[in-house]
Structure 1
């Protein structure tokens, strides 16, 4: 039974969200101490966070960063801010999805179910396909391409003795690209892998997520591992990166 932590300072909205989660069989709890949300969150130990942006004391971007410094738990932003840059900032600060107010509850539930499936359900660990080599190590699965390892159950990348943690979306992006190393993966394919309701996703959110994955690869020492193919998609080019090939 999944636990959902609701960070929303409007009591009526928080109650509606809590009731809706419980109707679908989830255990839900609404935050009460907006000065310091982390003790409540850690005590409740949720599998998903619904996070408003306009909050007292500190905004949702701040709390998203604080949560991300401790956990890769999925975070869906819920906000009255409908601007493109607000959605981009939500993704850049570690959010996995975004929905605007007034909330369409059935759309929200579709997003919640989709995020939970990708994070913990039938899509969380997938069997190997063509491309990167899949291996098993106990309960975890790995993809390996030219020495780069994706630890799928942990959402971690490992290369040359270094390791970085990924968000769920970064992990899914890495998996898609590592399944087809050296081949172009279409933007549409990546969008569909990350979000169930592609029609509600701004294309810029994919760009932001790719940028975040690039930064994680750079932390490992891989500076130009993801190549942008204008008008088509992206390509993982580790062989060129390791040999110092030009773009």
Structure 2
């Protein structure tokens, strides 16, 4: 049986993936696994900001199950805050979880993928990695980093038949935005469900797809912003700074 590992497994998207995926041994990592016992028996509690603990956990998993066939780096979080009111400790922790943990875990499992000449790494980024908006400076910076890391890694592992998929979502109806209902009301129909995102990811398990940009409306906005960046900045300031 192939191994599929998900970090940040208590997140809404991760839980939906866990429900939808079939024919894989499901290995779940989270800070608190108590709510995951009904989903999988292979649960690992670890603080992803603790590199030593992460390395030890990944080594144990590799020794127990062998190579990870699909790695989904889902762990991450964000907040809306003006840059001048952001604190260095908060910024550093977000980079630890959103970026460095993704890199540490990938590095831990990558040698076995290379040895078996197959595998897939799925990194959850954000449309914010293309279209950053006000009050998301630290979050957008981390997601730019995730996308950049993914694109560079894809080049390095191509000859080992390892695929790298980046998932960029706009607003998703999850706990991430639940604390800010006014924002969800503003983005309205552009918000998608965790079930929808999970279905798209599961559909592309072990595929050659390099990037998913969801939903289609924001993907069109992303393409527009890449081709007309100055105009896109003006439009974003007027219509998308809803936080």
TM-score by length of 2: 0.40
More strand by share: 1
More helix by share: 2
